[in-house]
């Protein structure tokens, strides 16, 4: 029997992509994709899903607001919050409200599916745990910075952490020298550290 899912996310493209991932897994049935957070509770009560996936940042009602409302309902579903970033204080509130999981939107599809199965099996899955915010000299939040990078950029940073040159990175990742150089420029633009010390502190955190 498939797991019935309700998706609540105002980003249509992400919601459609998530729905496709769930359907292709063969284990989930998407009952509806709700873009307007004000319609979330109505859809929840009407559809009584097994699992609810909720975006954290939305106009009108936030993911936290919706979770509070769902907690008041008679029907109880497993609830997983999806986001690019949340404050530690918010994650604590989610746990206190009985949320079953918190997963970042940069999570690979296979890991997402595995995590959702863990939740349905009764586990509490908070990706990366309740991390304390690590702040560098330039007041940049490491957790937030990591989530601003692509998986390939993170791969390259891990290679840099090992002390590899651009040419060696290109060989290890089966990329061209110029592709790696382009990625490195994009990484520098995104991180925009004011000193090499901050950059190396960031690498140590990975």
Give the count of domains, the chain: 2
- Residue 132, pLDDT score: 39
- The mean pLDDT value for 30-58 works out to 95
For residue 69, how many other CB atoms are within 10 A of its CB? 13
For 13, the domain range is: 3-126
User: Which pLDDT tens digit goes with each residue over 138-147?
Assistant: 444 455 455 5
- Residue 145, pLDDT score: 59
Q: Which of 102, 90, 192, 107 is nearest to 145 (CA)?
A: 192
Structural domain contains residue 20: yes
Do 79 and 147 belong together in one domain?
no
pTM beyond 0.75: the answer is no
- The mean pLDDT value for 19-36 works out to 95
Do 55 and 105 belong together in one domain?
yes
Phi, psi of 182 (to 5 degrees): -65, -45
Separation CA 164–CA 37 (nearest Å): 47
Do 16 and 76 belong together in one domain?
yes
Q: Which of 109, 99, 92 is nearest to 78 (CA)?
A: 99
Task: Give the domain CATH number at 107.
Answer: 3.40.50.2300
User: Which pLDDT tens digit goes with each residue over 127-141?
Assistant: 654 333 334 444 444
Do 25 and 98 belong together in one domain?
yes
Residue that wins the pLDDT comparison between 129 and 174: 174
Do 12 and 48 belong together in one domain?
yes
Token duo for residue 39: 């319609």
Do 146 and 79 belong together in one domain?
no
Q: Are 87 and 63 in contact (CB under 8 A)?
A: no
Do 104 and 157 belong together in one domain?
no
């Amino acid at each position: 029997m498939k797991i019935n899912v309700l998706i609540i996310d105002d980003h249509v493209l992400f919601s459609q992509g998530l729905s496709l991932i769930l359907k292709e897994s063969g284990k989930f049935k998407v009952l509806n994709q709700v873009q307007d957070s004000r319609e979330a509770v109505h859809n929840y009560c009407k559809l009584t899903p097994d699992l609810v996936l909720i975006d954290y940042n939305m106009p009108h009602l936030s993911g936290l607001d919706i979770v509070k409302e769902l907690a008041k309902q008679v029907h109880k579903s497993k609830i997983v919050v999806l986001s690019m970033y949340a404050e530690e204080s918010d994650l604590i509130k989610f746990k206190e409200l009985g949320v079953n999981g918190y997963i970042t939107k940069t999570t690979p599809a296979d890991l997402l599916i595995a995590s959702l199965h863990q939740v349905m099996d009764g586990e509490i899955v908070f990706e990366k745990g309740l991390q304390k915010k690590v702040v560098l000299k330039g007041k940049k939040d490491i957790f937030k910075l990591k989530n601003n990078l692509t998986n390939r950029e993170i791969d390259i940073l891990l290679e840099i952490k090992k002390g590899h040159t651009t040419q060696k990175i290109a060989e290890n990742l089966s990329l061209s020298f110029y592709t790696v150089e382009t990625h490195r420029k994009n990484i520098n633009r995104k991180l925009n550290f004011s000193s090499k010390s901050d950059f190396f502190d960031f690498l140590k955190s990975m």
